[in-house]
Amino acid sequence: MKIEIDDKHFELLFEYEQIKKRIRLLAIQLNIDFEDKIPVFLGVLNGSFIFLADLIKEIDISSEITFVKVSSYEGDKSSGKIKEEIGLQMSLKDRDVIIVEDIVDSGKTLEYLLKMVEKQMPASVNVCSLLLKPNSLKVELDEITYVGFEIPDEFVVGYGLDYKGLGRNLKDIYKAVKS
């Protein structure tokens, strides 16, 4: 299936059913790994909100949720400059923190977030990302522990991911078609 958003064409990459199955598996692992803890799920807005909502429904352990909003994208490219729009709303001191990302691309935004979280002196920090572009990483990030799907260096939209603010509401994930 192909779709068009603004001036870009996209084709199906992952169907919603595939995404849901992968999220269930991630949640099982998180439930096991944090069985005797009360982690804080730190959602990175705007992209992670759908992923985090579906993930948290599969989490059986006690946990808390909070959000931050940072941005570096302009259109379909990262600007390289990170802007903090909503900062941390709670103390993470001595807490087990799971940063929930929609996608890790260059890793620069995540690196910024990790430094922000580390200043709070948490007990532990792990990253759970729905998508990871390993060939695009510009920094080494050992905290990326839970990954839904590894994808090539392609622009994607849907399931919370957007293009110029559009497409977040799509149930499936689509990749841009090279023109």
Residue 87: what pLDDT?
Answer: 75
| Residues that are catalytic | 105
CB-CB neighbours of 65 under 10 Å: 16
| Of 46, 66, 4, residue with least CA distance to 165 | 46
Specify the CATH number for the domain of residue 108.
Answer: 3.40.50.2020
Q: How many CA atoms lie within 13 A of 105 on its CB side?
A: 16
Total domains in the fold of the chain: 1
Residue with tokens 């946990």: 63
pLDDT in tens, 59-89: 999 999 999 998 765 555 555 677 777 878 8
12 falls in which pLDDT band (50, 70, 90)?
Answer: very high
Q: Give me the pLDDT at residue 70, please.
A: 85
What does the pLDDT read at residue 73? Answer: 55
Domain containing residue 22: 2-176
pLDDT score for 82: 79
Cβ atoms 102, 70 nearer than 8 A: no
Flag whether the pTM goes above 0.95: no
